[in-house]
Amino acid sequence: MKILFIGDVFGDAGRLAIKKKLPELRARMGIDFVVANAENVANGKGLTPKIIDELREAGVHAFTAGNHLWDAKEIIPYIKNSKCLIRPANYLATAPGSGSQVFDVYSGIRVLVISLQGQLMMGQSVDSPFVAVDRELARWQGRAEIILVDMHAEATSEKRAMGWHLDGRVAAVVGTHTHVQTADEEVLPGGTAFISDLGMTGPYDSVIGMNREMAVRKFVTQIHEHLKPATGDVRLCGALLDVEESTGKAKSIVRIQEKVG
Protein backbone atom coordinates (compact mmCIF):
# COMPACT_ATOMS: atom_id res chain seq x y z
CA MET A 1 0.00 0.00 0.00
CA LYS A 2 1.23 3.47 -0.87
CA ILE A 3 0.59 5.97 1.95
CA LEU A 4 1.30 9.70 1.92
CA PHE A 5 1.77 11.32 5.33
CA ILE A 6 1.66 15.11 5.01
CA GLY A 7 3.46 17.38 7.49
CA ASP A 8 1.82 20.25 9.39
CA VAL A 9 -0.61 21.99 7.01
CA PHE A 10 -0.17 25.69 7.76
CA GLY A 11 -2.80 28.36 7.07
CA ASP A 12 -4.29 29.32 3.72
CA ALA A 13 -1.04 28.52 1.90
CA GLY A 14 -1.05 24.97 3.24
CA ARG A 15 -4.65 24.48 2.21
CA LEU A 16 -3.78 25.76 -1.26
CA ALA A 17 -0.92 23.27 -1.48
CA ILE A 18 -3.24 20.37 -0.65
CA LYS A 19 -5.92 21.44 -3.10
CA LYS A 20 -3.51 22.11 -5.97
CA LYS A 21 -0.94 19.36 -5.50
CA LEU A 22 -2.51 16.38 -3.76
CA PRO A 23 -4.77 15.14 -6.60
CA GLU A 24 -1.80 15.18 -8.99
CA LEU A 25 0.46 13.40 -6.47
CA ARG A 26 -2.12 10.71 -5.82
CA ALA A 27 -2.42 10.00 -9.53
CA ARG A 28 1.33 10.14 -10.25
CA MET A 29 2.49 8.09 -7.27
CA GLY A 30 -0.43 5.67 -7.01
CA ILE A 31 -1.23 6.75 -3.45
CA ASP A 32 -3.93 4.71 -1.69
CA PHE A 33 -4.27 6.52 1.64
CA VAL A 34 -3.47 10.05 2.83
CA VAL A 35 -2.94 11.35 6.37
CA ALA A 36 -2.23 14.99 7.25
CA ASN A 37 -1.43 16.82 10.46
CA ALA A 38 -3.93 19.68 10.46
CA GLU A 39 -3.53 21.48 13.78
CA ASN A 40 -2.22 24.69 12.11
CA VAL A 41 -4.54 24.90 9.15
CA ALA A 42 -6.84 27.69 10.41
CA ASN A 43 -4.77 30.89 10.11
CA GLY A 44 -1.73 29.10 11.53
CA LYS A 45 -3.35 27.91 14.77
CA GLY A 46 -6.19 25.43 15.14
CA LEU A 47 -8.61 23.96 12.63
CA THR A 48 -12.31 24.18 11.79
CA PRO A 49 -14.94 21.71 10.52
CA LYS A 50 -15.25 23.65 7.26
CA ILE A 51 -11.54 23.35 6.54
CA ILE A 52 -11.52 19.65 7.37
CA ASP A 53 -14.34 19.12 4.87
CA GLU A 54 -12.38 21.07 2.23
CA LEU A 55 -9.28 18.95 2.70
CA ARG A 56 -11.26 15.72 2.68
CA GLU A 57 -12.72 16.74 -0.66
CA ALA A 58 -9.17 17.34 -1.91
CA GLY A 59 -8.18 13.76 -1.01
CA VAL A 60 -7.08 13.60 2.65
CA HIS A 61 -8.55 10.60 4.49
CA ALA A 62 -7.33 11.08 8.08
CA PHE A 63 -6.21 14.04 10.18
CA THR A 64 -3.89 14.04 13.19
CA ALA A 65 -3.45 16.95 15.59
CA GLY A 66 -1.33 18.47 18.36
CA ASN A 67 -0.98 21.33 20.79
CA HIS A 68 -3.02 23.86 18.75
CA LEU A 69 -6.01 21.52 18.35
CA TRP A 70 -8.36 23.51 20.60
CA ASP A 71 -7.42 27.02 19.37
CA ALA A 72 -10.52 27.25 17.16
CA LYS A 73 -13.34 26.39 19.55
CA GLU A 74 -15.79 25.22 16.89
CA ILE A 75 -13.70 22.06 16.51
CA ILE A 76 -14.70 20.86 19.99
CA PRO A 77 -18.27 19.75 19.20
CA TYR A 78 -17.13 18.49 15.79
CA ILE A 79 -14.41 16.15 17.07
CA LYS A 80 -16.78 14.37 19.45
CA ASN A 81 -18.30 12.39 16.58
CA SER A 82 -15.67 12.81 13.87
CA LYS A 83 -14.65 9.72 11.91
CA CYS A 84 -11.55 11.35 10.43
CA LEU A 85 -10.04 13.78 12.99
CA ILE A 86 -7.85 12.21 15.69
CA ARG A 87 -6.62 14.03 18.80
CA PRO A 88 -3.44 12.96 20.66
CA ALA A 89 -4.13 9.73 22.51
CA ASN A 90 -2.23 10.92 25.60
CA TYR A 91 -4.65 13.77 26.31
CA LEU A 92 -6.82 13.29 29.38
CA ALA A 93 -9.65 10.80 28.96
CA THR A 94 -12.07 13.68 29.56
CA ALA A 95 -10.98 15.39 26.33
CA PRO A 96 -13.46 15.05 23.45
CA GLY A 97 -12.64 12.86 20.49
CA SER A 98 -10.51 9.76 20.08
CA GLY A 99 -6.74 9.23 20.05
CA SER A 100 -6.91 6.58 17.35
CA GLN A 101 -9.18 5.46 14.54
CA VAL A 102 -9.35 2.60 12.05
CA PHE A 103 -9.97 3.30 8.36
CA ASP A 104 -11.18 0.74 5.80
CA VAL A 105 -8.99 1.56 2.81
CA TYR A 106 -10.07 -1.28 0.56
CA SER A 107 -11.34 -4.84 0.89
CA GLY A 108 -9.58 -6.64 3.71
CA ILE A 109 -7.10 -3.86 4.50
CA ARG A 110 -7.61 -1.59 7.47
CA VAL A 111 -5.29 1.20 8.60
CA LEU A 112 -5.06 2.28 12.24
CA VAL A 113 -3.92 5.89 12.76
CA ILE A 114 -2.68 6.94 16.21
CA SER A 115 -1.98 10.56 17.17
CA LEU A 116 0.44 11.38 20.01
CA GLN A 117 1.90 14.53 21.57
CA GLY A 118 5.32 14.81 23.16
CA GLN A 119 6.00 15.91 26.72
CA LEU A 120 9.39 17.60 26.35
CA MET A 121 9.45 21.40 25.77
CA MET A 122 5.81 21.52 24.66
CA GLY A 123 4.48 23.80 27.39
CA GLN A 124 1.44 21.63 27.98
CA SER A 125 0.81 18.91 30.54
CA VAL A 126 -0.04 15.62 28.86
CA ASP A 127 0.29 11.98 29.86
CA SER A 128 3.15 9.80 28.64
CA PRO A 129 2.87 9.15 24.88
CA PHE A 130 4.73 5.86 25.40
CA VAL A 131 2.16 4.54 27.84
CA ALA A 132 -0.67 5.88 25.69
CA VAL A 133 0.51 4.25 22.47
CA ASP A 134 0.89 0.87 24.18
CA ARG A 135 -2.66 1.24 25.44
CA GLU A 136 -3.98 2.06 21.96
CA LEU A 137 -2.14 -0.87 20.38
CA ALA A 138 -3.63 -3.24 22.96
CA ARG A 139 -7.07 -1.77 22.38
CA TRP A 140 -6.98 -2.38 18.61
CA GLN A 141 -4.98 -5.61 18.57
CA GLY A 142 -5.90 -7.76 15.58
CA ARG A 143 -8.26 -5.17 14.12
CA ALA A 144 -5.95 -3.44 11.61
CA GLU A 145 -3.36 -4.67 9.12
CA ILE A 146 -1.34 -1.43 8.99
CA ILE A 147 -0.60 0.97 11.86
CA LEU A 148 0.61 4.58 11.51
CA VAL A 149 1.74 6.85 14.35
CA ASP A 150 2.13 10.66 14.32
CA MET A 151 4.45 11.80 17.11
CA HIS A 152 3.78 15.55 17.43
CA ALA A 153 6.75 16.71 19.49
CA GLU A 154 9.51 19.30 19.85
CA ALA A 155 12.41 17.09 20.90
CA THR A 156 14.03 14.87 18.28
CA SER A 157 15.21 12.61 21.11
CA GLU A 158 11.62 11.92 22.18
CA LYS A 159 10.56 11.25 18.59
CA ARG A 160 13.53 8.95 17.96
CA ALA A 161 12.85 7.07 21.19
CA MET A 162 9.26 6.52 20.07
CA GLY A 163 10.53 5.08 16.80
CA TRP A 164 12.65 2.52 18.63
CA HIS A 165 9.87 1.85 21.15
CA LEU A 166 7.51 0.87 18.32
CA ASP A 167 9.96 -0.71 15.88
CA GLY A 168 8.46 -3.92 14.53
CA ARG A 169 5.03 -3.16 15.99
CA VAL A 170 3.82 -0.46 13.59
CA ALA A 171 4.37 0.43 9.93
CA ALA A 172 5.56 3.98 10.57
CA VAL A 173 6.38 6.56 13.24
CA VAL A 174 6.55 10.05 11.75
CA GLY A 175 7.34 13.26 13.60
CA THR A 176 5.50 16.56 13.24
CA HIS A 177 5.39 19.98 14.98
CA THR A 178 8.76 21.66 14.24
CA HIS A 179 7.84 22.62 10.63
CA VAL A 180 11.40 21.73 9.50
CA GLN A 181 11.79 18.58 7.42
CA THR A 182 14.58 16.30 8.65
CA ALA A 183 16.87 14.10 6.55
CA ASP A 184 16.88 11.02 8.80
CA GLU A 185 14.23 8.93 7.08
CA GLU A 186 14.86 5.18 7.26
CA VAL A 187 13.24 1.82 7.78
CA LEU A 188 14.31 0.58 11.21
CA PRO A 189 15.50 -3.04 11.64
CA GLY A 190 12.09 -4.31 12.72
CA GLY A 191 10.34 -2.86 9.66
CA THR A 192 9.06 0.46 10.99
CA ALA A 193 9.54 3.53 8.79
CA PHE A 194 10.77 6.57 10.71
CA ILE A 195 11.45 10.27 10.18
CA SER A 196 11.94 12.89 12.91
CA ASP A 197 9.86 15.54 11.15
CA LEU A 198 7.83 15.56 7.96
CA GLY A 199 8.23 19.31 7.51
CA MET A 200 5.61 21.98 6.91
CA THR A 201 3.06 22.12 4.13
CA GLY A 202 2.70 25.85 3.61
CA PRO A 203 4.71 29.05 2.98
CA TYR A 204 8.51 28.74 3.11
CA ASP A 205 9.18 32.46 2.59
CA SER A 206 8.56 32.72 6.33
CA VAL A 207 9.72 31.78 9.80
CA ILE A 208 8.11 28.34 10.19
CA GLY A 209 4.98 29.68 8.51
CA MET A 210 4.73 33.18 9.95
CA ASN A 211 5.54 36.49 8.22
CA ARG A 212 9.34 36.71 8.37
CA GLU A 213 9.62 40.48 8.90
CA MET A 214 7.29 40.32 11.88
CA ALA A 215 9.03 37.25 13.32
CA VAL A 216 12.50 38.78 12.99
CA ARG A 217 11.32 42.05 14.54
CA LYS A 218 9.89 40.16 17.50
CA PHE A 219 13.22 38.39 18.08
CA VAL A 220 15.23 41.61 17.71
CA THR A 221 13.05 43.85 19.91
CA GLN A 222 11.66 41.18 22.26
CA ILE A 223 8.35 43.04 22.04
CA HIS A 224 5.35 40.79 21.61
CA GLU A 225 3.19 41.20 18.54
CA HIS A 226 0.55 39.03 16.94
CA LEU A 227 2.28 37.29 14.04
CA LYS A 228 0.48 36.77 10.74
CA PRO A 229 0.84 33.78 8.41
CA ALA A 230 3.09 34.21 5.38
CA THR A 231 2.04 33.37 1.82
CA GLY A 232 5.11 32.95 -0.42
CA ASP A 233 7.06 29.91 -1.71
CA VAL A 234 4.35 27.35 -1.04
CA ARG A 235 5.38 23.70 -0.73
CA LEU A 236 3.77 20.38 0.14
CA CYS A 237 6.00 18.34 2.44
CA GLY A 238 5.74 14.87 3.91
CA ALA A 239 6.79 11.29 3.29
CA LEU A 240 5.67 8.53 0.95
CA LEU A 241 5.47 5.12 2.62
CA ASP A 242 5.36 1.78 0.83
CA VAL A 243 3.91 -0.80 3.24
CA GLU A 244 3.62 -4.55 2.72
CA GLU A 245 -0.02 -5.33 3.41
CA SER A 246 0.51 -8.94 4.44
CA THR A 247 2.99 -8.09 7.21
CA GLY A 248 2.20 -4.46 8.08
CA LYS A 249 5.90 -3.65 7.73
CA ALA A 250 7.35 -0.76 5.74
CA LYS A 251 9.33 -1.49 2.60
CA SER A 252 10.47 2.10 2.07
CA ILE A 253 10.07 5.72 3.12
CA VAL A 254 10.82 8.63 0.77
CA ARG A 255 10.78 12.32 1.73
CA ILE A 256 8.41 14.48 -0.33
CA GLN A 257 8.87 18.22 -0.91
CA GLU A 258 6.85 19.56 -3.83
CA LYS A 259 6.71 23.23 -4.82
CA VAL A 260 3.27 24.56 -5.66
CA GLY A 261 3.36 26.73 -8.78
- Pick the closest to residue 187 from 168, 203, 206 (CA basis): 168
Q: Report the alpha-carbon distance of residue 90 to residue 69 in Å, rounded.
A: 13
Residue of 68, 152, 177, 179 with catalytic role = 68
Active site residue 68: yes
Residue 136 dihedral angles phi and psi, to the nearest 5°: -65, -40
Count of C-beta atoms within a 10 Å radius of residue 132:
21
- Pick the closest to residue 207 from 228, 237, 186, 177 (CA basis): 228
Q: Report the alpha-carbon distance of residue 114 to residue 149 in Å, rounded.
A: 5
Q: Report the alpha-carbon distance of residue 97 to residue 87 in Å, rounded.
A: 6
Per the document, the length of the chain is 261
- Which H or E run includes 12? helix 11-29
Contact between 111 and 102 under an 8 Å Cβ cutoff? The reply is: yes
Give the catalytic positions in this structure: 68
